[in-house]
Amino acid sequence: MSFLEQYSNTRALSVSICSALEKEDYVVQPVADVSPPKWHLGHTTWFFETFILKPYSIAYREYNPDFNYVFNSYYETLGNRVIRTDRGNLSRPTVDEVYRYREYVDQAMAGFLIDENFDQPLLELFQLGINHEQQHQELLWYDIKYILGHNPLFPAYQLQGIEQHLTNAAQAPNEWVEVPEGLYEIGYKGAGFHFDNELSPHQVYLQKTTVSSQLVTNAAYLEFIEAGGYKNFNYWHAEGWDWVKNNQIAAPLYWHMIDGSWFEYTLSGLKPLNPDAIVAHISYYEAAAFAQWKGMRLLTEFEWEIASTHFNWGQLWEWTESAYLPYPGFSKAPGAIGEYNGKFMVNQKVLRGASVATSPNHSRSTYRNFFHPYLRWMFSGIRLAK
């Protein structure tokens, strides 16, 4: 695929994910971790403008200098950012204006991408821009679901919510896969795109492990609830238990008990809970408590990477026991791009795999996703080991 095709396909997918939104849906920010969809559309555009067009395209004229302030993210090297929790207060630029901005930048990029003789740094920036937008495509799904799923009218977004794919592959029976003790190589080794946090490849010694081939289902999770799982501190980390009590948590994020039956908000609206589907929108605290109740445990990210050849994965991000830390030899790239991953390497947990919301071509077994342990608005689930 040519650079231009890659670019155009990626950019079109972001627009397509938002195509069923009302203008009002683009604007709101119900909690700090959710961003308004129009911000995602603007921010991914700003990324190409700031890191490719402005430094490399002589003829390019910035669309609007104020957008640097509005659509910047965490990149502290590039001037004051909008305080993250304020994004939902900004009615302007309007949605139409953001789409005009996208078109303006897309046209400039189309001209720029005709010449495919990129040197290596520019090539890497381009690939980073593509992968960055794919990450935001996944966040768009999370945020759209959160915005609509926390509206008292519970509006449907799609006829068939992407949650329909949250089933264990072929409904096959669960199997226990054994990973023998020994030295294994971990980390990205190929020539394709990868993030700096997947480097460098290195050896890790693993103990013998037995891993479930299937993810935990709603039915199994319901047993945990009915056994008093949310009421017994013994299953929880101390911080997890504080989280349960302070937020009065009693079920996964989108579950609602209505007239004695469990319902689940999905992107096609409120539906009776499907016991055979895999349980989604789970925090690390919940995943760990469930495992503790079962007398089992979560995998480390290294066990996951080695075992993953033996099972299907990709419906939900899978919490691991591993903290998000640098691999041996990791060092932050200098400058704004260097802020991409390394600065988050404290107090977060690694998730491995991919989810139904992950963009095509944006998953690999060495991919290290990471979230704070209390978060659960992403499509996250549980795989057990013993």
Residues that bind a copy of itself (CB under 8 A): 22-30, 38, 66, 69-70, 74, 76-77, 82, 86, 88-95, 147-148, 150-153, 155, 183, 202-205, 207, 233-234, 236-241, 284-285, 288, 292, 297, 321-323, 325-326, 328-329, 332, 343-347, 349, 373
Residue 1 or 183 having the CB closest to a copy of itself: 183
The distance of closest approach from Cβ of residue 205 to a copy of itself in the complex, given in angstroms and rounded to an integer, is 5
Residue 237 or 271 having the CB closest to a copy of itself: 237
> How does DSSP classify residue 52?
I
Calpha distance 126→117 (Å, rounded): 12
The distance of closest approach from Cβ of residue 219 to a copy of itself in the complex, given in angstroms and rounded to an integer, is 26
Residue 126 or 188 having the CB closest to a copy of itself: 188
> How does DSSP classify residue 329?
T
The 10 Å Cβ neighbour count of residue 86 is: 11
The distance of closest approach from Cβ of residue 31 to a copy of itself in the complex, given in angstroms and rounded to an integer, is 8
Run of H or E residues at 127: helix 120-149
Residue 21 or 273 having the CB closest to a copy of itself: 21
378, 317 contact by CB (below 8 A): yes
Residue 126 or 224 having the CB closest to a copy of itself: 224
Residue 100 or 202 having the CB closest to a copy of itself: 202
The distance of closest approach from Cβ of residue 78 to a copy of itself in the complex, given in angstroms and rounded to an integer, is 12
Calpha distance 223→290 (Å, rounded): 10
The distance of closest approach from Cβ of residue 242 to a copy of itself in the complex, given in angstroms and rounded to an integer, is 11
> How does DSSP classify residue 359?
P
The distance of closest approach from Cβ of residue 358 to a copy of itself in the complex, given in angstroms and rounded to an integer, is 24
Token pair of 33, please? 């971790």
Calpha distance 321→319 (Å, rounded): 7
Token pair 């903290």 is found at 323
The distance of closest approach from Cβ of residue 257 to a copy of itself in the complex, given in angstroms and rounded to an integer, is 17
Q: What does the radius of gyration of the chain's CA atoms come to, in whole angstroms?
A: 21
E strands in 49-198: 176-179, 182-186
Residue 144 or 277 having the CB closest to a copy of itself: 144
Token pair of 216, please? 């935990």
**Would you call the peptide bond into 93 cis, given omega within 30 degrees of 0 as the criterion?**
yes
